[in-house]
Amino acid sequence: MGIDPGLTRCGLSVVQAGRGRSVLPVAVGIVRTPATAELPERLKRLSAGVNQWMDDYRPDVVAVERVFERGNVSTVIHTAHASGVLVLAAAERGIPVHMYTPSEVKKAISGNGRADKKQMTTMITRILGLAEPPKPADAADALALAVCHCWRAPLLARTAALLNSEGATS
């Protein structure tokens, strides 16, 4: 499951990893909260939405965009609140969470860590063989996070196994 955290629009996606770099789209959507609502109400709505997705799709792993400073402290704080709710939903189910920076996802999907939204949407549409680009951009970003993790998961698993075997022989 890929999650692009946001308080107003939170992108959610579910994909199925195939052989090699093959990834099949399962679902993509957005949880929206009204900007006029108070923070606790917005977080409650976000929590309900992500929990419903996790109940419906039962993901094995969750990939979340890591919050980073964008220059607007208020936006960063709101995104961090949203991210905490999303990570907690996975943690409560015992689902592993992997966090990726936007540049890591861009590099994995487009080969360019500075790719713009249009380029990312074009690439994720092509990679997943979608008939049309996912909208809004938050949905495309959620798919990109899920694909990024699918492609990185084998290396992460091999690294963890190697570290565990070294720890067992030390």
For residue 60, say whether it is annotated as part of any ligand binding site.
no
Domains of the chain: 2-169 (3.30.420.10)
pLDDT in tens, 64-106: 999 877 677 888 899 999 999 999 999 999 999 999 999 999 9
User: For the ranges 88-92, 126-130, 156-160, which has the lowest average pLDDT?
Assistant: 156-160
d(CA 16, CA 13): 10
Q: For residue 157, what pLDDT band results from cuts at 50, 70 and 90?
A: confident
Catalytic residues: 4, 65, 138
pLDDT for 36 beyond 70: yes
Task: With beta carbons less than 8 A apart as the criterion, state whether 73 and 11 touch.
Answer: no
The answer on whether 104 is annotated among ligand-binding residues is no
Instruction: Give the pLDDT of residue 70.
Output: 67
Q: Annotated binding residue at 55?
A: no
Is residue 169 very low, low, confident or very high in pLDDT (cuts 50, 70, 90)? low
* pLDDT tens digits along 105-120: 999 999 999 999 999 9
pTM value is: 0.91
Q: Among 31, 106, 94, 28, which Cα is nearest to 66's?
A: 106
CA distances to 16, 57, 58, 59 from 52, rounded to whole Å, are: 19, 9, 10, 12
